[in-house]
């Protein structure tokens, strides 16, 4: 009797699962079904789309690398130490995760255009460098309507995800091994480098993958800060927007399917190497 009730209960739980799975599969298949060989050929022959694809990969990889440089020590210190303002700092680091993407883009735009520090970093620093190396100075800056802005937006968003995953990875590790190493004469740096870091490597890899996957598809904040200029600030998400805005739905679909395939590959890698972090 208990077994029959269990089966009925499980069947009730399976219904919403099946409905949601069917919805996801239906949405994804709708994109695959609509593309044509002619559209695929047209997209792959378009040098502007290849340019945006290269820029997407390069900027997202640079942003992910920068995010890990910050996220590894940040995740470690938040996991292993309690200090004044710990909870406040921990909450601030989560803001890019919960803030609407357009709000992030607007805040970054206001920082670089409406504050003295931001204006110096964007235009003043570029002018100084141009004058130093003998280039003719111009009004173009590093970030607003430029590739540097893409990296900044991706870094701000991706680093928050990386910190959260890496902190969880260090939380999973027993700190007693580090304490034992230091009682045996190891310095805190040696303990971190030889014990903590190698054991947290799967979590760091998971952080890299999820951070890259999150920033690779960013559109709103990048479009707000950098615009969508072909051969300058165009990336794959903005390519979809451009193709759709000019009525080229087939081209937008092909790029969308390409990004879906990338997402599926990323998800496979994440699940393969993420371990408990997944």
Query: Does the residue 36 lie in any domain?
Result: no
- Which residues, including other chains, have CB under 8 Å from residue 134's CB and lie 6 or more apart? none
Among residues 125, 178, 130, which one has the least CA distance to residue 148?
125
Query: Considering the chain, what percentage of its residues have pLDDT values greater than 90?
Result: 25
Query: Does the residue 11 lie in any domain?
Result: no
Tell me the C-alpha distance between 73 and 77, whole Å. 6
Query: Does the residue 81 lie in any domain?
Result: yes
Model pLDDT for residues 219-240, shown as the tens digit of each residue: 989 999 988 888 888 899 999 9
What is the residue range of 241's domain? Answer: 46-277
- On the question of pLDDT at 158 being above 90, the answer is yes
Query: Does the residue 108 lie in any domain?
Result: yes
What average pLDDT does the chain have?
85
Contact 71, 159 (CB under 8 A): yes
CATH assignment of the domain containing 122: 1.10.3720.10
What is the reported pLDDT for 84? 87
Model pLDDT for residues 118-146, shown as the tens digit of each residue: 888 877 776 666 566 655 545 567 888 88
Query: Does the residue 227 lie in any domain?
Result: yes
What is the reported pLDDT for 140? 65
Q: Which two tokens stand for residue 241?
A: 């927007």
- On the question of pLDDT at 15 being above 60, the answer is yes
What total number of domains does the chain contain? 1
Query: Does the residue 117 lie in any domain?
Result: yes
For the ranges 18-27, 114-123, 190-199, 261-270, the maximum mean pLDDT occurs at 18-27
Whole-model pTM: value is: 0.84
Three-state DSSP class for residue 10: helix
Q: Which two tokens stand for residue 258?
A: 């390409």
Query: Does the residue 180 lie in any domain?
Result: yes
Query: Does the residue 34 lie in any domain?
Result: no
What is the reported pLDDT for 166? 92
- For 170-193, b/e burial (b = at least 16 CB within 10 A) is beebeeeebeebeeeebeeeebbe
């Amino acid at each position: 009797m208990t077994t029959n009730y269990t089966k009925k209960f499980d069947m009730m739980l399976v219904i919403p699962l099946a409905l949601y799975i069917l919805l996801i599969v239906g949405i994804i298949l709708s994109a695959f079904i609509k593309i044509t060989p002619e559209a695929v050929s047209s997209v792959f022959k378009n040098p502007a789309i290849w340019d945006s694809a290269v820029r997407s990969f390069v900027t997202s990889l640079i942003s992910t690398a920068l995010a890990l440089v910050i996220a590894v020590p940040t995740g470690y210190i938040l996991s292993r130490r309690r200090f004044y303002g710990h909870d406040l700092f921990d909450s601030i680091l989560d803001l890019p995760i919960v803030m609407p993407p357009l709000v992030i883009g607007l805040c970054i735009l206001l920082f670089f255009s409406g504050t003295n520090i931001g204006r110096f970093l964007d235009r003043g620093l570029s002018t100084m460098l141009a004058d130093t190396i003998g280039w003719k100075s111009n009004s173009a800056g590093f970030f607003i309507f430029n590739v540097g802005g893409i990296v900044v937006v991706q870094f701000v968003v991706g680093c928050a995800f990386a910190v959260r995953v890496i902190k969880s990875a260090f939380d999973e590790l027993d700190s007693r091994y580090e304490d034992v190493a230091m009682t045996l004469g190891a310095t805190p740096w040696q303990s971190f480098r030889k014990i903590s870091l190698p054991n947290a490597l799967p979590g760091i890899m998971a952080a890299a993958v999820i951070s890259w996957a999150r920033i690779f598809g960013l559109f709103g904040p990048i479009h707000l800060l950098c615009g969508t200029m072909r051969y300058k600030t165009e990336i794959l998400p903005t390519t979809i927007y451009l193709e759709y805005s000019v009525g080229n739905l087939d081209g937008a679909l092909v790029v969308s399917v390409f990004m879906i395939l990338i997402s599926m590959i990323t998800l496979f890698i994440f699940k393969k190497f993420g371990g408990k972090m997944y």
